[in-house]
Amino acid sequence: MNHLDEKLTFKRGLTLKNRIVIAPMTTKMSFFDGVVTNDEIDYYALRSGEAGAFITAAANVHEGGKGWDGELGVYDDRFIPGLSKLAAAIKKNGTKAILQIFHGGRMTDSKVLQGVQPVAPSAIPAERPNAETPRALEEAEIYDILEGFKKATERAIKAGFDGVEIHGANTYLIQQFFSPHSNRRTDDWGGSLEKRFKFINELVDGVTSVVDRSGVKDFIVGYRFSPEEYEEPGIRLSDTLYLVDRLADKPLDYLHMSSNDYKKVSVSEEFKEKTILTYIKERVGDRVPLIVAGDIRTRKDVETVLETTDLVAVGRAILIDPHWTQKILDDKESLIRTELFHYDREELRISNGVWGFLQMMMPERLK
Ligand SMILES: Cc1cc2nc3c(=O)[nH]c(=O)nc-3n(C[C@H](O)[C@H](O)[C@H](O)COP(=O)(O)O)c2cc1C
């Protein structure tokens, strides 16, 4: 079993001081064009210094991949100065800074894109109210997006981050290529499971080779995935076991399972005996460190999860109590604040947009 205050060294040499990672969480605080704001830097600085690593909010690698207003941008060199300040703010007191890189695909709309139609593997809208029908990407555009991920990685290195996390989870473009719901292509980029993996395969190879060719020391690459979809057809756990099996053989430093509950059991009849996390761990083995997020709130949760994984990722608990990590490490759990009304929104540096989202997601914890 892994201990929460034990160090962990990744394949590419980076060492984390403990096993707690702050989960990627959108702040909705960047300027309209994706440039980092001072408020955003304050938000990160308030929460940094205790956890082993802090994964930033998703940053879009391509102008057409912007998912929402207030999102970080990393699709141009002009973002580097702001991102450098952000990395420096996170890295105080030894917390490592990981930039999450992504493209929203069909999970955006033409309002956010200022009149431009969203793009996706195929012209199939998401199953959500008012979803717009995206335009299917041309092959040249696919290569352009893959290039965007590589350039974003170069920028993360220049800005002083300790790594990037490829956001292959939560229904965004990377997952859309793997999903039989959003990917109905009949060319090399869609169809069989193998072909639906092609985009991810090229993406991971591209990003890892940028890092390894750059000569940067101790810079890591992680990959985040969501294990299941509810759409019909959709990604099932059997697909994800194939995915993690392929990814575990790649030069990645970690795999990160995105979930809202680490104890969740699969929707598939053939995988009901254990939790999804257990099946994933069994398939990955010790080939690559595994992280999971999903309703980890107590020291007991952390210890239970670390029996299976190498690291835990914690989101909402650290939004509500910026010093959650230190209280867990010091075994002072009774001091943890679990209800947002202990604070006001400005003290927590939480934007209006995220505050509203939290009220929707967890009203019982808000006043
Ligand atoms: C306000 C908010 C913003 C989020 N933004 C992102 C994001 O940008 N990228 C991502 O991969 N996950 C995002 N998530 C999901 C979290 O990383 C995490 O998986 C989820 O909140 C479950 O963990 P928790 O129960 O510890 O909060 C977000 C969650 C919240 C609450």
Is domain 8-365 annotated with CATH 3.20.20.70? yes
The stretch 280-290 carries a mean pLDDT of: 98
Does the C-beta of 315 come closer than 6 Å to ligand 1? yes
What are the residue boundaries of the structural domains of the chain, listed by start? 8-365
| 155 Cβ closer than 6 Å to some ligand 1 atom | no
The CA 50 to ligand 1 mean position distance, Å, reads: 19
C-alpha of residue 260 to centroid of ligand 1, in Å: 8
User: How far does residue 315's CA lie from ligand 1's centre (Å)?
Assistant: 6
- In the chain, % of residues over pLDDT 90: 93
Minimum-distance ligand 1 atom for the alpha carbon of 100:
9
Taking Cα atoms as reference points, which of 171, 196, 172 lies closest to residue 184? Answer: 196
pLDDT at residue number 292: 98
- Tell me the per-residue pLDDT of 160-169, one tens digit each, with 9 for 90 and over: 999 999 999 9
Cβ-based neighbours of 81, under 8 Å, separated by 6 or more: none
Question: What number is the average pLDDT over the span 30-40?
Answer: 97
Centroid of ligand 1 to alpha carbon of 22 (angstroms): 10
Mean pLDDT of 84-107: 97
Token code pair at residue 122: 């195929």
Residue 153 in this model has a pLDDT that exceeds 70 = yes
CB 295 near ligand 1, within 6 Å: yes
Q: What are the tens digits of pLDDT across the range 299-354?
A: 999 999 999 999 999 999 999 999 999 999 999 999 999 887 677 888 999 999 99
pLDDT at 367 over 50: no
- The overall average pLDDT reported for the chain is 96
pLDDT score, position 92: 87
Please give the pLDDT value at position 169.
Answer: 98
Euclidean distance between CA atoms 30 and 49, whole angstroms: 22
Say if ligand 1 is within 6 A of residue 238 CB. no
Q: Given this model, what pLDDT does residue 365 score?
A: 62
pLDDT at 201 over 90: yes
What does the block give as tokens for 84? 């450098």
Q: Is the CB of 320 under 6 A from ligand 1?
A: no
Q: Compute the average pLDDT of residues 217-225.
A: 98
Q: What is the mean pLDDT of residues 210-220?
A: 97
What residue owns the CA closest to ligand 1's atom 15? Answer: 25
Query: Rounded to whole angstroms, what are the CA distances from 262 to 79, 113, 177, 226, 346?
Result: 34, 34, 25, 12, 30
Please tell me the distance from the alpha carbon of residue 41 to that of residue 39, in angstroms, as a whole number: 5
Residue 366's pLDDT band (cuts 50, 70, 90):
low
**Which residue's alpha carbon is at the smallest distance from atom 21 of ligand 1?**
315
User: Residue written as tokens 């709130």?
Assistant: 297
Which pLDDT belongs to residue 361?
77
Q: What is the DSSP string of 280-305?
A: HHHHHTTSS-EEEESS--SHHHHHHH
